[in-house]
Amino acid sequence: MILLAWMLAGCSLRHLIVQGVASELVSQGQAPEDDVVLAREASAFYLKLAESLLREAPGNLLLAEAVASGFTQYAYAFVQCEADHIEAKDARAAEKLRQRAANLYRRAQRHAMAALQHDMPDYAKSLASSNPADVVRLRPDQIGTAYWAAASWAAWISLSKDEPNIVADLPQAMRLARQAWEVAPDHGNGALVSLLGTFEVARPGGSQALALTYFDRAIELGAGKNAGIFVAKAEGVALPAGDRLAFESLLRQSLVASQVQPDLPNSVMRERAQWLLENVDDLFLPSPP
């Protein structure tokens, strides 16, 4: 009995320590930082440590959200964007970077989905069903994790167009984003509704009018402080439509937003917007006579 009590106390103590370190790590990850280079140098260690803690505390939603968002943002800012920058000079190296980004997005998606599954064991099964009766409603404390699960899923799919089994998951990813939106439509100061806009332009037969409605609502919720929304609308709507004036205008609004709120996500999007503006002539080649 004494031995058993000691073992149970040891397990409980370990659990408390893990949860405490996880909470501290999450708070550190949320600390303001606008130096993109410093963030890149610190990211690998932070992500590996947070990932190892998540294995010990799979039900910690805040940690799962931090891990999923960390891998997703790292993949976009430091891998996928780099692929775009070097593609004209080295297409093979760019493709390798995109494959790496896709793997990182997959990693983020699986961590986030595993956390949701830990809370709701039948969630993945319900998400795969198109029957409204099978829907499992998300709780408010799950929305952050659900958002990053859907965002990383969307990014993974976008880089996997030659893999039909991954692309086939698009309806599930959209369903997940919509379920989160139905619970918290203003989540992320417009980030979640902007994601719905991105999904709408990506899905076969998507409505541009509905996508515009989503993006405009996202811009309203962002209050001019979310640079990523302007970039998403520029690349998702203006670029495919061949509307150069709208494209450049949205990117300039993104630059202004990054100055209003100079945090790390906006710093990353500022660099993206600047690069797109520098390459606008290549993106909008004149139509042949």
Mapping DSSP to helix (H, G, I), strand (E, B) and coil, where does residue 36 land?
Answer: helix
Q: What percent of the chain has pLDDT over 90?
A: 66
Least confident of 69-83, 124-138, 160-174, 236-250: 124-138
The CA-atom distances, in angstroms, between 275 and each of 32, 125, 162, 204, 267 are 24, 41, 27, 29, 13
| Mean pLDDT of all residues belonging to the chain | 86
| Model pTM score | 0.86
What is the separation, in whole angstroms, between the first and last Cα of the chain?
88
Query: What was the pLDDT predicted at 48?
Result: 85
Tens of pLDDT, residues 1-51: 454 444 444 444 344 344 444 444 455 444 455 566 766 776 788 788 888
Neighbouring residues of 83: CB distance < 8 A, sequence distance ≥ 6: 93, 94, 95, 97, 98, 101
CA distance 19 to 16: 5
Query: What was the pLDDT predicted at 289?
Result: 52
Q: What percent of the chain has pLDDT over 70?
A: 85
223 backbone φψ class: left, alpha, beta (φ>0; ψ -120 to 50): left
Using pLDDT thresholds of 50, 70 and 90, give the confidence band for residue 154.
very high
Domains of the chain: 37-152 (1.25.40.920), 185-281 (1.25.40)
Q: With both helix axes pointing from N to C terminus, report the angle between 2-29 and 61-74 in degrees, rounded to the nearest 10.
A: 40
Average pLDDT, stretch 71-95?
Answer: 94
Q: What 8-state DSSP symbol labels residue 138?
A: P
